[in-house]
Amino acid sequence: MADQYVQTLDGEQPPGLDSLRWDELPEGPVLVLLDQRRLPAEEAELVCTDVPALVEAIRTLAVRGAPLLGIAGAYGVALAAARGYDVAEAASLLEAARPTAVNLGYGVRRAAGAYETAAGRGADTEQAAAAVLAEARQLHREDAEASKRMAWHGLALLDELLPGGSHRVLTHCNTGRLVSGGEGTAFAVALAAHRAGRLRRLWVDETRPLLQGARLTAYEAARNGMAYTLLTDNAAGSLFAAGEVDAVLVGADRIAVDGSVANKVGSYPLAVLARYHHVPFIVVAPTTTVDPATPDGASIEVEQRPGQEVTELPAPEMVTGVTALPEPRSSEAASGAPGAPVAPVGTQAYNPAFDVTPPELVTAIVTEEGAVSPVTGAGIAELCSRSRQV
Ligand code: MRU
């Protein structure tokens, strides 16, 4: 069975989708991001020459998604070290950029730890900076590898739960190449099913308010030639009622020790719907998304975002590409660009970026080390201990 999956997972990639890359320019090292705020209208690069620029890019979602935030955070520390900034200060700025995705802190701390270890061994500034960059690159490679293994385990689980072999999968937010060093988490499983000829349809939730599903997942699905259909988030109920969903696949921003899952707001209602309709609700995330310091769902800090994201539609160029933008464009301009108002001036909005799904509503959590089902703290701890042994 392994060979069957390995063969399908190593297929040709569509070219030109690197979510981020390290570059050495004559004026110094930089971190180059694919600016996700401008997708699908444009594949534009955002060049970060320093940590404040990267922090702004993280806050405004030019770079986003839990695993990629970890990688970006690690390269951010490498950028600080290479450019001679205070590494500890850079690390704390980066770690605080967004509060919920635990991978960000994980990547930052790993890179900062590499710097301290090198410095503690008497390395000079240049050698210590090289050690941090090597650590960031290693994390990047590990995430790509984890992505492949999650796809393998996830497809095996889908095939086991849905023996018919023609899956109709609903997904929320964006969990593909744009969030990962590889092909992603939940999306990578759907892509593996597609390559194996077993994905009948990918149902893509638009994911209000920032439309990660419509702008990013639909974009990735189209690039990969998948059969997909976009729906508004509130159409999911009628889709379940019509019997059109065989499984829900989502990612995670943080998994607590008890198996509670924080993911893009709107995931929890899908889990409730899935339970009512007897459909598996599957979370796909690397073990780096499990936070040993978070005992349960109530302890997860959920990021609250500006109400403006709800009271206005995203800026027109984000969605349609109709606005000509001067180059280069600062991250501040991108985040502050006004969209069309959809509520009276002064309207207050409730805008949590994530919600928390309790473990009893999650059919399985799939990691690079395998799947746990039913979801228990002990099962998750066992998977994490496997990954932390290596
Ligand atoms: O606010 P975002 O776009 O960073 O939120 C991303 C998500 O919620 C993803 O579903 C999550 O990071 C899992 S991706 C592996």
Report whether pLDDT(6) > 60: no
Instruction: Tell me how far apart the alpha carbons of residues 140 and 155 are, in angstroms, rounded to a whole number.
Output: 23
Residue 131 has φ and ψ, to the nearest 5°, of: -65, -40
Nearest atom (ligand 1) to Cα of 285 = 15
Q: How remote is the CA of residue 69 from the centroid of ligand 1, in Å?
A: 9
pLDDT at 162 over 50: yes
* Per-residue pLDDT reduced to its tens digit, 47-71: 999 999 999 999 999 999 999 999 9
pLDDT reported for residue 292? 95
Average pLDDT of span 288-294: 96
To test ligand 1's pocket by mutation, which of 191, 253, 284, 290 has the most ligand atoms within 8 angstroms of CB?
253
Q: Is the ipTM of this complex over 0.85?
A: yes
How far apart are alpha carbons 287 and 298 in whole angstroms?
Answer: 20
28's tokens: 């110094």
Pocket of ligand 1, beta carbon within 6 A: 61, 64-67, 101, 173, 175, 179, 185, 212, 251-253, 263-264, 353
Q: When comparing pLDDT for 4 and 114, which is higher?
A: 114
| CA atoms of 46 and 56, how far apart (whole Å) | 11
| Mean pLDDT value across the chain | 91
Q: Who's near 305: CB < 8 A, 6+ residues apart?
A: 351, 352, 353
Cβ 161 vs Cβ 224: under 8 Å: no
231 - beta bridge partners?
Answer: 205
| Residue 332 predicted with pLDDT over 60 | no
Residue tagged 């935030």 (tokens): 69
How high is the pLDDT of residue 390? 41
Q: Return all residues near 154 (Cβ < 8 A) that are at least 6 apart.
A: 186, 188, 189, 192, 249, 282, 284, 366, 371
**What is the Cα–Cα distance from 39 to 27, expressed in whole angstroms?**
28
86 is catalytic: no
Q: Which of 193-207, 218-232, 320-334 has the lowest mean pLDDT?
A: 320-334
Closest CA to 211 of 289, 320, 284: 320
pTM for the model = 0.91
281 vs 252: CA distance, rounded Å:
12
Please give the pLDDT value at position 30: 97
> Rg of the chain's alpha carbons, rounded to an integer?
20
Estimate to the nearest angstrom the gap between the alpha carbon of 73 and the chain centroid: 13
Q: Which residues contact 125 (CB under 8 A, 6 or more apart)?
A: 81, 84
